[in-house]
A and B are shown apart, each in its own frame.
Chain A
């Protein structure tokens, strides 16, 4: 079974631009969560989607948004990029949101904002 895939793997953008990252979950998984990893901050939760609906959202500004499609693939968008948005963005998929589930992470997209 193929794992979680994320595209692109690396991205360089300039301040003020916007960016869209893509995540394809493991086949059959309906929940996709997004995390931001920066040095010294660990993994910080961005949002979770389940069956095309945003279930939960972390403490990030409105410049960060996402969506999930009917095939469970998910995209996240960051508008008006800032230098501090440089990070590794990870998505994780799981079978569902209920109970103590295991999340499977993709390799991440490394975003550099200059």
Chain B
């Protein structure tokens, strides 16, 4: 079985300061890991994904995440927050060895607020 825990339901930062959104996962097999972003009243957009290549993954809009197997973590970071980063972020795990299309398991989401 696989599961995802996003450790903070809300994170608030000031514009120009670093962003850290925390995610821990469990998976029986070699996982693929994703971060999705959802802006208000919008659909889900893929930020980045890890699929057993480099452990440091760079995504869109300056975000990156580091896969740490020993810590079962996949935290999302950005050096400098922008107002447009305010959104809800989902950490997602996909079990590569499952049948039927590698289903996704979503974390509960972290709402990022950016203060001017």
| Chains A and B come from one and the same complex | no
Residues in A lying within 8 Å of B, measured CB to CB: none
